[in-house]
Structures are given as structure tokens and as C-alpha cells.
Structure 1
């Protein structure tokens, strides 16, 4: 990893559709770019989705033969093409 890369977990490229629900912004479907033991990066291009760092969301993988679990996550990073979400260890 680069010297200025503060990531704790190795990223794995993964494209999947996920439903992201934000309490005040609503429900959205996005694609993932990568996933790690710590979280996931969602690609946001034209959707009006603009959460603040620290906002809590729920995320659920879509398109599986059975419903995936709904995971609590926190917005931890914003880039030009999306958001980094971290698994919420508190789960409250």
C-alpha cells in the first residue's frame, strides 16, 4: 500500500447492486466498486444522494436468490465518484 494510504483492510474489486437507505435522504440502488472486511465503496454518479460524513445508513445486497441481511453502516469517505461506507461496529 502507498505510504499515505490509511486503509486497515485490503480491498477486493466487487461489482454488486446494493440498496442504501438513509433516514432523511431516502432509498437508493447503487453499484459497489470494492469491498473489504471494514466496509464497501458505492459508486454514486447521477443520483441526488449527498449524505454527510458520519451519517448512518443501512445497506442490503440485491439480486440474490434469498434476501441478504440488512447491514448498519457509517459514511466515512466521499470522493468524486462515490462514498466509502464502514460497517457500524456499534450496531445501534
Structure 2
């Protein structure tokens, strides 16, 4: 890792539709920008989705031939165009 990039995992550009459920804001469908072994970045445009860093959500990939697993994730980063979500391994 160099400079200000403190990422532990290599990011891979990947566009997929994901359902994100927040306990207060409800259910949304977003597109991903990238994914890594540690998490995923979701692009949020004009939806009323404004979680705080540290809040928990569930995420499920959409559009597969069989239902994808529902994953517990934590909001770890906010940018102008979306949120970085990290896999929540506390429940394992």
C-alpha cells in the first residue's frame, strides 16, 4: 500500500445490482462500483439513503438464477457518489 491508500484488499471493478436493507431507511436497489474480499462500494444517486458510519445493513445480490445469500455489512466510508460497505464478520 502506498500513500494514503490504506486498503487491505485489492478492489475489482464490478457492476451488479444489490438490494440494501437499512433498519430505519428501508429497502433500496443500488449498483455496485467495485468489490473486494473486504466489502463492496454501492453507488447512491438521489435516493433518501443516508446512513452513518458504523451502521449495519444487509446486502443481497439481485438478478441471479437462484437467490443470493443475505450478507450483514457495516457502513465504513461515505463519498459524494456512494458508500463503502464492509463485510460484518462479528456474527461468525
Question: TM-score, structure 1 length as denominator?
Answer: 0.97
**Equivalence map 1:39-54=2 (5 Å):** 39-54=39-54
Cα distance in 1 for partners of 2:36, 2:77 equals 14
**Equivalence map 1:13-92=2 (5 Å):** 13-91=13-91
Give the ranges of 4+ consecutive aligned residues of structure 1 lying more than 4 Å apart after TM superposition. none
Query: What stretches of structure 1 of length at least 5 have no aligned partner?
Result: none
Query: What stretches of structure 2 of length at least 5 have no aligned partner?
Result: none
How far is the alpha carbon of 1:59 from its aligned partner? Answer: 0.1
- Count of residue pairs the alignment pairs up: 92
Question: TM-score, structure 2 length as denominator?
Answer: 0.97
Cα distance in 2 for partners of 1:91, 1:23 equals 17
